[in-house]
């Protein structure tokens, strides 16, 4: 230990965000194989089941594609949605309430904004990683139909930011960890169905199709359709606007979520 204490300067915002991000990566990468294996296996089994099982009983086209090819982009969206949603709900809540991990971080140059923004970026990175893994599976099944598919990781990143932001809003509000079950079962699962996961939204009854257009996941799935299947196979003619909506939502919801969590940590 040096005797004269040098006058330390606060690390820059970028260094602080990177340090938070790195903390999550360090914890996560300890079990990277166990953590990432389901990301490979789940879509594989799903595509096998649909391609060789269910698909054989479905004699029609969806957006001009076979059923498994129709579902492929949605798998990317679901993967990146769930990985971020879990991390920013159960994960964040456990760190906040049980592990008190943020309290320790607060004694360092990190601000509340750094803590949750860094974590949000980590959620985005998880989405990037997971959607890349699923994209490789899709590639093996021949479902990547355009070179624009190189954009899949970026879209996965954005979608994870969106859902981390939404999950932050939920986490900042729930008192009890069990309440997240409502979020997942009556929030995210129906959202998947509503957003064109299993059939095109224009086939939804009672004008629900317009409700679908208001959901973030719809825009993500359409964006994935654009780059994975091509513009000819989107669900709506205006799908080109969906990437713009996605970017906007990522910025707005991410910022709102961080803001709410900052308030939550103050108490």
Q: Does 20 bind other proteins (CB under 8 A)?
A: yes
* Distance in angstroms (rounded) separating the CA atoms of residues 103 and 95: 9
Residue 33 in contact with other proteins, rule: CB under 8 A: no
Regarding 100 and contact with other proteins (CB under 8 A), the answer is yes
> Binding of other proteins at residue 193 (CB under 8 A)?
no
Rounded alpha-carbon distances, angstroms, from residue 3 to 9, 108, 111, 228, 252: 18, 21, 29, 60, 48
Q: Does 266 bind other proteins (CB under 8 A)?
A: yes
Q: Could you tell me the two tokens for 217?
A: 């996941």
Q: Does 232 participate in binding other proteins (rule CB under 8 A)?
A: no
Q: How far apart are alpha carbons 141 and 40 in whole angstroms?
A: 13
Would you say 19 or 151 has its CB closer to other proteins? 19
- Which lies closer to other proteins via its Cβ, residue 7 or residue 237? 7
> Which residue in this structure is represented by tokens 């990301």?
39
CB 177 within 8 A of CB 166: no
User: Is residue 12 at the binding interface for other proteins, with CB under 8 A as the rule?
Assistant: yes
Does 55 contact other proteins by CB under 8 A? no
Per CB under 8 A, the segment of 9-17, 173-181, 226-234, 245-253 that binds other proteins is 9-17
Among 47, 76, 105, 250, binds other proteins (CB under 8 A): 105
- Map tokens 């906040």 to a residue: 96
- Minimal CA–CA distance to 133: which of 49, 35, 225? 35
Give yes or no for a contact between 128 and 211, defined as CB atoms under 8 angstroms apart.
no
Instruction: Please pick, from the candidates 7, 33, 34, 237, the single residue that binds other proteins as defined by CB under 8 A.
Output: 7
Q: Does 189 bind other proteins (CB under 8 A)?
A: no
Which pair of structure tokens corresponds to residue 168?
A: 């932050």
Give min distance, CB of 13 to other proteins, in A: 9
Count of residues that bind other proteins according to CB under 8 A: 33
Cα 33 from Cα 95, distance rounded (Å): 22
Positions in the binding site for other proteins (CB under 8 A): 1-12, 15-16, 19-20, 22-23, 26-27, 99-101, 103-111, 266
């Amino acid at each position: 230990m040096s005797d004269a204490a040098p006058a330390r300067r606060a690390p820059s915002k970028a260094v602080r965000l990177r340090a938070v991000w790195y903390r999550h990566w360090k914890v996560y990468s300890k079990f990277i194989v166990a953590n990432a294996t389901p990301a490979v296996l789940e879509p594989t089994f799903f595509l096998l089941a649909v391609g060789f099982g269910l698909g054989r009983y479905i004699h029609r086209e969806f957006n001009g594609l076979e059923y498994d090819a129709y579902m492929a982009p949605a798998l990317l969206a679901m993967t990146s949605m769930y990985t971020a949603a879990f991390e920013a709900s159960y994960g964040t809540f456990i760190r906040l309430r049980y592990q008190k991990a943020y309290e320790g971080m607060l004694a360092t140059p990190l601000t509340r904004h750094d803590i949750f923004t860094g974590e949000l970026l980590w959620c985005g990175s998880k989405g990037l990683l997971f959607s890349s893994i699923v994209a490789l599976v899709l590639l093996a099944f021949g479902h990547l139909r355009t070179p624009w598919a190189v954009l899949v990781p970026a879209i996965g990143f954005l979608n994870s930011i969106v859902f981390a932001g939404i999950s932050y809003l939920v986490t900042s509000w729930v008192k009890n960890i069990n309440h997240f079950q409502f979020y997942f079962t009556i929030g995210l699962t129906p959202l998947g169905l509503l957003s064109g996961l299993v059939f095109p939204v224009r086939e939804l009854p009672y004008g629900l199709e317009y409700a679908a257009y208001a959901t973030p996941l719809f825009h993500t799935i359409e964006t994935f359709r654009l780059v994975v299947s091509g513009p000819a196979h989107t669900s709506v003619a205006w799908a080109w606007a969906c990437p713009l909506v996605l970017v906007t939502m990522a910025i707005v919801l991410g910022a709102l979520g961080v803001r709410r969590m900052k308030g939550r940590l103050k108490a």
